[in-house]
Amino acid sequence: MMGHWYLRSADWVQHLPAAFYSHLRGKARVAHYLPGERIFVPSQNPEWVYLQEEGHSRIYSLSEQGEEFTLEVVAPGEIFGELAILQGARREHYATALDAGVVLRFAREVFLALMREAPDFALTVTRQVSGRLLRIESRARDLVFRDVPARLAQCLLRLAHDFGEPAPEGGVRIGLRFTQAELATLIGASRPTTNLVLRQMREQGWIRIDRRHLVLMDQAALQGLEMQESAGASSSVEGERRG
């Protein structure tokens, strides 16, 4: 089964009793973000936890050389920025809006009180945290055992699964827009290598670009490439192990 970075337990908000969700929302500050707008930065003493109500956000780290690595994409109904609060530790990552979105911001004290007073809420947060750690472990394995073409194929298939919609001219259109640089940060590769692999996938007829949206035309071919591991892969594209 394909593991996903997105839509983990995102529907839990929809199933909350209306009274409790109203109570939850009443304790938050509602923030509206435009695409590319920053939500948080690394902080020694983080004060806020976030709940994605609408839209999507990207969590990423930044190297000393200024290179980004995307840790995950946050979908509606997902808590993020909670680990540093729960651990009483420094927040190490950045978050920006991928598209226009609405985010609920909970003060540290409010979030911790909800964890103590609302068992269902605490259980959901715990499941999301454990799921996030499992996904990070899975991506670490991919970086070691899969080459760039296999990682990119896997990334595109996951995005199509989670955000795909039928394209009028055929294929599956990924609903979210990603720049080539953002795709590179999702798979832990350099931008030039990612661009090269994308170009060869287009030449093979496996994908196409439709108004900045990626459209998957041959998922079977991408699935075959996804299954190749860097130790024995004989890809038509010569990629780098870690970008």
pLDDT at 125: 87
pLDDT of residue 59: 93
- Residues β-bridged to residue 62: 68
What is the rounded distance in angstroms from the CA atom of residue 90 to the CA atom of residue 123? 23
Could you give the CA distance from residue 128 to residue 122 in angstroms, rounded to a whole number? Answer: 10
Please state the rounded mean pLDDT for residues 88-107.
94
d(CA 197, CA 53) in angstroms, rounded, equals 34
Residue predicted with more confidence, 141 or 56:
56
Q: Using 50, 70 and 90 to split pLDDT, how confident is the model at 57?
A: very high
Whether 230 has a pLDDT exceeding 50, the answer reads: no
Q: Tell me which of 200 and 77 has the higher pLDDT.
A: 200
Residue 41 has pLDDT above 70, yes or no: yes
User: Encoding tokens for residue 21?
Assistant: 């969700």
pTM (2 decimals)? 0.76
In this model, does residue 193 exceed pLDDT 80? yes
Find tokens 């670009």 and name the residue: 209
- Residue-wise pLDDT for 143-174, tens only, equals 888 899 999 999 999 899 888 899 988 999 99
∠ CA 74-60-67, nearest 5°, is: 150
**CB hemisphere CA count around 169 (13 angstroms):** 9
Binned at pLDDT 50, 70 and 90, residue 11 comes out as: low
Question: pLDDT class for 235, splitting at 50, 70, 90?
Answer: very low
Q: How far apart are CA 5 and CA 141, in angstroms?
A: 14
